[in-house]
Chain A
Amino acid sequence: MWEAIRANKIRSRVLISAMGGTLIALGAVFGAVYHAEAGAAVGAVFALGIWGLLVLVAFTGGDKMLLMSAGAKKIEKQDAPRLWNIVEEMTIASGLGSMPDVYVIDEDAPNAFAVGQDPSRSAVAVTRGLLRRLNRDELQGVVAHEMGHIRNLDVRFMTLAAVMLGSIVLLSDVFLRSLWFGGGRRRGRGGEGGQAQLILVGVSILLAILAPFLARLLYFACSRQREFLADASAARFTRYPEGLASALEKISRPTSGKVGRKGANRALAPLYIVRPEGFRSLTGMFSTHPPLERRVSILRSMGGGAGYAAYEKAWKQGGGEGSLLDARTLSGDQSLSARQGTPEPETKKEAQETVREVLDVFDRLAGFLILGCACGVRIKVPEGYAKPTVPCTRCGRENPVPQAAEPEAATAAATGAATYRRKSGAWESFRCPCGRNVQISPAFKGEFKKCPACSRKIKILQPD
């Protein structure tokens, strides 16, 4: 693990210096466009100045700024004891010296991220949606993933890289704008070395457009690699890869429809555990996160192992090229096996639903007819019920009881082609040849209704 961190550090330095070089070169070229002699030096210094300023801001209060912009609130133990305990557990498992601050974001989209300059000053933030949806093992997996980011020094690197990327984008932007608005002034000076100047301007424009693009590419590539590494760390800390796998699966499931992303912005996107909603779902080079299915399938194919070696093997099987972790980390790693999951008590609601489902089956067997009212109540009609409609107990709506109101022509059942003539424009239900009751709403204007049970298409005729 320690070797992995060292490798990470080296990689970070290479990346940071590459980006720094690009930044200085950019400044120099832009400066040269404005002034042939002293311009390059001034430009480079200017670029460095911008960078220094941004780094200063990022390192003095960058984490707080990120948390604030995500709408995160710091919590104490009594606010969310389970989350707090899990963060404590993962602090111990990861061997961090001090526990990160815990933040909660008041948002329904399940997501989480970590920020901080170094492991002793860091923070973990999760959304309320995440707390609500995940069970203990899953939440532990997610927190372990964030701890992995902190432990592997990803958070500091990402902050630095984000600032660097920001400066490059800013510089290019300023330059392109000034060229646009200040063009006339320079043209007036004209005359001396016009040709060379023109080429330089062309090159600089090209650079201004290309540099941010390339920097972004580099940044995102790194961020993807780090997601895998953090997953590996999470498996190792918890000794339970299934926890994170199942959490990722739950998070990716679009349960609550369109999910807000008021907190997430472009700078924050790579920090989250999964790509926040609303960012284009590119899986290619610009993606900040590897595809979730791949992460889940890697975690699930660790074959009962929980160490780095097991993750690396699964990662290679999952199509990973090269190697994720260095040889020394892998050789020093014991063969670790995963633990058993913690059994969760079925929540009350789930238990209630199970009971209801079982009862429904019995009722159906006893010949009850189960009607779904439009308000959501399920009405059970006994077999001998005589009236043509039954009132709903909640909304009082009269629900028509299918009087074996067979689709016209009993023979139709045999051929599979059934028709049903509507009696009125109100809620109606009829019995499909397969025995299932099908309901049609007043708004239904289609020609065919698909039976939800046998998926037979039944022709619907409008009332005479």
Chain B
Amino acid sequence: MTGTIIFVVAVVVIGAILVGMYNGLVRLRNQVRNAWSQIDVQLKRRHDLIPNLLETVKGYAGHEKQTLENVVKARSQAQSATGVEAQSMAEGALSSALGRLMVVVEQYPDLKANQNFLALQEELASTENKISFSRQHYNDSAMVMNNKVESFPSNIIAGMFGFKREPFFEIQDEAEREAPKVQF
């Protein structure tokens, strides 16, 4: 009799622990996915900002054709890129094109004093920050997830239900690694 009770209690307790582990893993996986989608949101934001920025710059520095065209080209490439690798490469190219544009802008004091441009500059700087912070958060979440997937005892549950390691978001492209951060 006592033996049965102990057995039942043990089964219930172990069952509860397993369910808890499973739910924890699900929560972590969703967190990682959410963090990933955040990166996309911010990248898109940057694409949306660029036409406005170019419009403002054109008014003052229209003859810097090459630089402006480079940004436009980099933007459309970034928008059409698919797959993590291609995307991060295209985004890297866009970052450096924007960086060069900002260097050019330095030579136009009137433009630098333009209220509209200042506002755009802040938006762009903030978006760059948001992109890197969302990457950072993604990597943090992926790390927690990976720790859980690989360490005992949660790795048993992870193996049973097919929870996998999440890849870290690394900067893949050498050019992006060296790309000048957009600085003002």
Contacts and interface: CB of A to CB of B under 8 A. Distances in A.
Interface in B99-125: 119, 122-123, 125
Interface string B65-87: 00000000000000000000000
Given A92-B130, A342-B183, A343-B183, A82 B137 contact: no
Count class of interface residues, chain A? 20 to 34
A349 B46 CA distance: 32
A92 B130 CA distance: 7
B52 interface: no
Given A81-B119, A95-B31, A95-B137, A88 B126 contact: yes
Interface in A226-240: 237, 239
A2 B147 CA distance: 13
Interface centre among A81, A93, A94 (most CB of B within 10 A): A93
B126 A85 contact: yes
B157 interface: no
Q: Binding site of B, secondary structure by majority: helix, strand, loop or mixed?
A: helix
Contact of A332 (B125, B126, B147): B147
Contacts of B134: 92
A342 B122 CA distance: 12
Contacts of B42: 92
B99 to A, nearest CB: 13
B53 interface: no
A338 interface: no
Interface in A282-337: 332, 334
B102 to A, nearest CB: 12
Contacts of B140: 1, 95
Nearest to A340: B181
A345 interface: yes
Interface residues of B, number: 22
A428 interface: no
B7 interface: no
Contacts of A92: 38, 42, 130, 133-134, 137
Interface in A63-96: 81-82, 85-86, 88-90, 92-95
Nearest to A345: B184
Contact of A239 (B130, B136, B141, B184): B136
Contacts of A239: 136
Nearest to A136: B125
A96 to B, nearest CB: 10
Interface string B148-183: 000000000000000000000000000000000001
Nearest to A93: B133
A95 B27 CA distance: 13
Contacts of A136: 125
A81 B130 contact: no
Given A92-B134, A345-B184, A2 B144 contact: yes
B178 to A, nearest CB: 14
B126 A95 contact: no
Contacts of A334: 143
B23 interface: no
A123 B141 CA distance: 24
Contacts of B129: 85, 89
A88 B144 contact: no
B124 to A, nearest CB: 10
B35 interface: yes
B130 A88 contact: yes
A92 B126 CA distance: 12
B36 to A, nearest CB: 12
B10 to A, nearest CB: 25
A82 B125 CA distance: 10
A110 B123 CA distance: 25
B126 A93 contact: no
A92 B131 CA distance: 9
Contacts of A82: 122, 126
Interface centre among B119, B122, B133, B143 (most CB of A within 10 A): B133
Nearest to A85: B126
A334 B147 CA distance: 11
Given A95-B141, A343-B183, A81 B122 contact: yes
Interface string A347-366: 00000000000000000000
A239 to B, nearest CB: 7
B94 to A, nearest CB: 19
Nearest to A236: B140
A81 B133 CA distance: 18
Contact of A93 (B125, B137, B143): B137
A1 B144 CA distance: 9
28 contacts: A1-B140, A1-B144, A2-B144, A81-B122, A81-B123, A82-B122, A82-B126, A85-B122, A86-B126, A88-B126, A89-B129, A89-B133, A90-B133, A92-B38, A92-B133, A92-B134, A93-B133, A93-B137, A94-B137, A95-B31, A95-B141, A136-B125, A239-B136, A332-B143, A332-B147, A342-B125, A342-B183, A343-B183
Interface of B: 31, 35, 38, 42, 119, 122-123, 125-126, 129-130, 133-134, 136-137, 140-141, 143-144, 147, 183-184
Interface of A: 1-2, 81-82, 85-86, 88-90, 92-95, 136, 237, 239, 332, 334, 342-343, 345
Given A332-B144, A332-B147, A343-B183, 16 more contacts: A1-B144, A81-B122, A81-B123, A82-B122, A88-B130, A89-B133, A92-B38, A92-B42, A92-B134, A93-B137, A95-B137, A95-B140, A136-B125, A237-B133, A342-B183, A343-B184
Question: Nearest 8 pairs between A and B by C-beta?
Answer: A85-B126, A93-B133, A92-B133, A89-B129, A95-B137, A92-B134, A89-B130, A89-B133
